[in-house]
Amino acid sequence: MLKYSMIGLGGLIGAIGRYAVSGFVQRYFNSSFPAGTLVVNILGCFILGIVMHLIQHHGLFTQHTRMFITVGILGAVTTFSTFGHETLTLMDSGKVWFAILSVAGNIILGISAVWLGTALMRATGQ
């Protein structure tokens, strides 16, 4: 139960942080380009890279702290960071084709799923 509480608390912090940082960046650039989303995705990836290195190579953080930071905070900031870490892990382990398949699948299928969901709602008059 503590693990879920830590993830939930981290998620609360991460979601608020994402909203604040993304909104600030978007207002700063004052553009129709989604700079806020780009910044939080890249920042989340950078921070996850640091945290995972500290966990994997230095054994830092307890299990609950790891869940709080990685799944909670960073998971709410962006799941793109997990996608980036998993892709790098596949590449580092020599599974380049799996990495390519993951990248293509996430991008192509993800965008297609958004399009399909939108098309479904439009078709039903919602």
Confidence tier at 92 by pLDDT (50, 70, 90): very high
Report whether pLDDT(32) > 90: no
Mean of pLDDT values over 93-111: 94
Q: pTM of the entire structure? A: 0.78
Report whether pLDDT(81) > 90: no
Contact 44, 74 (CB under 8 A): yes
Contact 7, 74 (CB under 8 A): no
pLDDT at 31: 87
Q: Which residue has the tokens 């870490």?
A: 85
